[in-house]
Amino acid sequence: MDEKNILENQNEEILNVEQEINAEEAAQETVKEKDITPKKKKKKKKTLSNLIWALIVVAVSVMLAVLIIFGFKDIYGLKPDGVGSKDVYIEKGSSTAQIAETLYDNGIIEQPFLFRVYCKLGDTSGFQYGYHTLSGNMSYEEITSELKKLAKKEDVVEVTVVEGWNLYDIAKELKDKKVIENINDFMKAVERMEVNYEFIKDAPENQYRYYKYEGYFYPDKYEFYTGTTDYESIAKKFFSNFVAHMDSDIKAGLKETDMTFDEVIILASLIQAEAGNVNEMGMVSSVFHNRLNNPAAYPNLQSDVTINYVERVIKKTIAYEHQDLYDAYNTYKCKGLMPGAVCNPTKEAIRAALYPDKSSYNYFVTDLSGKYYYAKTYQQHLNNCAKAQKVNQNYKEN
């Protein structure tokens, strides 16, 4: 190979090497560009993300500030332009969220979500459906307290138990008001009850006691759901009210008397039935006490209301003849008190049974005008009966 050819070959090799180096450098530059470009994009994305979070924090802070300002007013009812009192109907089975919306729609609250949070955190169980009287100036505490009360609703009725009514009278009224469906079923349910209420739990079992809990259904106004089959809950409402009316005077008197509490109730039922006038209860009680304290001379209490109970209640509801039972309640035949009460007395009658007036009377009679005649001897009593009869005759004629 000549010198010229050798030089040409070396030049070609050098050119190839230079081309390879240039190719490698170009490749490296491309890789650098690729490495640099993603880093710039990531930085931009991170900046945008931080900006979004900052905006969210600001927005939440503003919302919380607004919630605190307006929520405070709503929670405490500090709304000078709040709606006045109005009846708001809460649907049966409403959830807390639905109740909150109902209150909001009626202008009672301004923050339904806040009200739901309040209910979630507090003791707000037992909300009652029906009509509640609410206003926009009520605090959440006042609103929830009202919602727990028995509401006015179509299926709730008011039942008034009159002083002197017996248990059958009460059951009949409950049936007439459509609270219960069957009187006998109600009576049986009450008789089977295990009662743990103070004063009532010791009511004795007696083969001649017609209604075990006669005397313990306190006369008052009550509200009941119509069409209920939970008869025990009805009785418990009466029992609870009875216990609530046993005040300190009654409790103190029970410590002083030799009678059992049940005997006091039986005597009080006589006083209630014989003396509808509260002012006469103390004197009527004295007559019964005088007889009870002198059984040798007055073995029988001789109260006509016990005969009425036999005729109007026992004979009307019993399915067979039971003369021994009739006689057990007839105070012209039984000695001392009957085996059970003949009506449901008020606390005034119970007090009178515990604190009788002082007298020497053994008899009394009343006329149709409501006047009471008291006597110590039987002859005086006959004279009073004649006076009462004369008044009654004139009363009927006029």
Instruction: Convert the pLDDT of each residue in 246-275 to its tens digit.
Output: 999 999 999 999 999 999 999 999 999 999
User: Does the pLDDT value for residue 30 go beyond 70?
Assistant: no
How far apart, in whole angstroms, are the C-alpha atoms of residue 132 and residue 312?
Answer: 41
Place of tokens 């179509």: 154
How far apart, in whole angstroms, are the C-alpha atoms of residue 187 and residue 211?
Answer: 8
Give residue 126's pLDDT band: very low, low, confident or very high (50, 70, 90).
confident
Task: State the average pLDDT over residues 185-202.
Answer: 92
The tally of CA atoms less than 13 A away on the side-chain side of residue 225 is: 11
User: Does the pLDDT value for residue 71 go beyond 90?
Assistant: no
- Which helix or strand (DSSP H or E) is residue 31 part of? helix 3-75
How far apart, in whole angstroms, are the C-alpha atoms of residue 74 and residue 147?
Answer: 17
Q: Does residue 86 sit in helix, strand or coil?
A: strand
pLDDT recorded at residue 350:
98
* Residues forming beta bridges with residue 132, ordered by sequence position: 88
- 86-147: CATH number: 3.30.1490.480
pLDDT in tens, 377-387: 999 999 999 99
Residue at 360: amino acid letter: S
Q: Which two tokens stand for residue 36?
A: 């640099």
pLDDT recorded at residue 156:
81
pLDDT recorded at residue 3:
45
The burial class, CB within 10 Å (0-12 / 13-18 / 19+), for 307 is: middle
Who contacts 54 (Cβ-Cβ below 8 Å, separation ≥6)? Answer: none
What does the domain layout of the chain look like in residue ranges?
Answer: 1-75, 86-147, 155-359
Place of tokens 């109600």: 186
Q: Which two tokens stand for residue 39?
A: 């880093």
Residue at 210: amino acid letter: Y
Of the ranges 15-29, 78-92, 144-158, 339-353, which is most confident? 339-353
Task: State the average pLDDT over residues 192-208.
Answer: 90
The pTM of this model reads: 0.65
Q: Which residues of 222-237 are buried (b: 16+ CB within 10 A; e: fewer)?
A: bebeeeeeebeebbeb
Neighbours of 206 (CB within 10 A): 13
How far apart, in whole angstroms, are the C-alpha atoms of residue 355 and residue 283?
Answer: 10
Which of 164, 166, 105, 115 has the alpha carbon at shortest distance from 141?
115
How far apart, in whole angstroms, are the C-alpha atoms of residue 139 and residue 137?
Answer: 7
**pLDDT mean across residues, the chain:** 86
DSSP state of 152: B
User: Does the pLDDT value for residue 84 go beyond 60?
Assistant: yes
CA 397 to chain centre: 50
pLDDT recorded at residue 128:
87
Task: State the average pLDDT over residues 215-240.
Answer: 91
More confident: 248 or 93: 248
Give residue 7's pLDDT band: very low, low, confident or very high (50, 70, 90).
very low
How far apart, in whole angstroms, are the C-alpha atoms of residue 299 and residue 333?
Answer: 9
Of the ranges 87-101, 110-124, 261-275, which is most confident? 261-275
